[in-house]
Amino acid sequence: MISLPNENSYQHEQATSATETAHRIGAEVQILYANNDAVTQSQQVLEIIQSRSGAPPDAILFEPLTTTGLVRAAEAAVTAGIGWVVLNSDVDYLDRLRTSSKAPVFGVTRDHTEIGRIQGRQFAALLPNGGTVLYVQGPANNSAALQRTIGMESTKPSNILIKGLRSTWEEANACQAITSWLSLSTSRASSIDVVGCQYDGIAKGARKAFENLPDREERERWLRVPFTGVDGLPKEGRAWVDHGILTATVVSLTTTQVAIQMLVQGISSGKQPPIRTLIELTSYPSLEKLSASGRSKAPIK
């Protein structure tokens, strides 16, 4: 069973990757979505663990919505002999659970701090003389969003200022957040040099809000500002960069493909997989290309 936090494009890619990988190796998966609700996610997982109808799953894979990572559900799963795999998040209880679990217990994640570091370097490349970034982050209680912000702050130069804004991991919510922000008297295009977002879908939603501006001159000024995101799916983030919708993204593979392969191997061998596996990350386009672009463009004022 796989519990995913929502049905945005990245999570659909996670589900597709999981289904294809499972089919290839002769396993079955059930995909559940939590609709960005931590209580819903907890209930979904606990119902699977406590169900008395049918055989229990070999393992539960899930991407947590909160920093606690469903620790009580994790303990219940291990007690029931069910494997526990945490996706795209770091939790502090895996080592403790592994000592008493016969089933695989481990995590597969993107290094969210490194994602933030890459974004900070992208901002530096795009703004060699400094400037201001409107930084649209994920939810405040989400560990991935927090780590990405910490990483970004650690690599962005001191002459680049950050104006933070919050959104969920969904395009529509990002559009709404930007629309609300635009109603403030301080939201002028002349004061923002880059719109940096923690997810490609957030960046797409941000652009949509600016595209909806009624004033043509203001709309065109905003749409000349570089937009950046994270995920770089082939048909979305990378394609949007290629078509000029985004200026840059951070590319990473899905975690479900790697996690399922490791899970099946762990079950068959009877050995615990590594406690934490990181997915490779790259800037798209390269930082060198972004630097050349940043040097060639004068600030938009």
Q: State the Cα–Cα distance between residues 167 and 149, nearest whole angstrom.
A: 13
66/147 same-domain check: no
pLDDT in tens, 260-273: 999 999 999 999 99
193/266 same-domain check: no
Q: For the whole prediction, is pTM greater than 0.85? A: no
- Please name the residue that has the structure tokens 């703004």: 127
pLDDT in tens, 246-265: 999 999 888 999 999 999 99
123/246 same-domain check: yes
Amino acid occupying residue 95: D
CATH of the domain at 87: 3.40.50.2300
- Please name the residue that has the structure tokens 């559900």: 73
116/216 same-domain check: yes
pLDDT in tens, 9-31: 899 999 999 999 999 998 899 99
pLDDT in tens, 111-130: 999 999 999 999 999 999 99
Residue 72 within a domain: yes
259/220 same-domain check: no
264/241 same-domain check: no
Q: Is-contact 168 139, C-beta < 8 A? A: yes
Domain coverage including residue 81: 2-110+253-280
Say if residue 298's pLDDT is above 60.
no
Say if residue 220's pLDDT is above 60.
yes
pLDDT of amino acid 45: 95
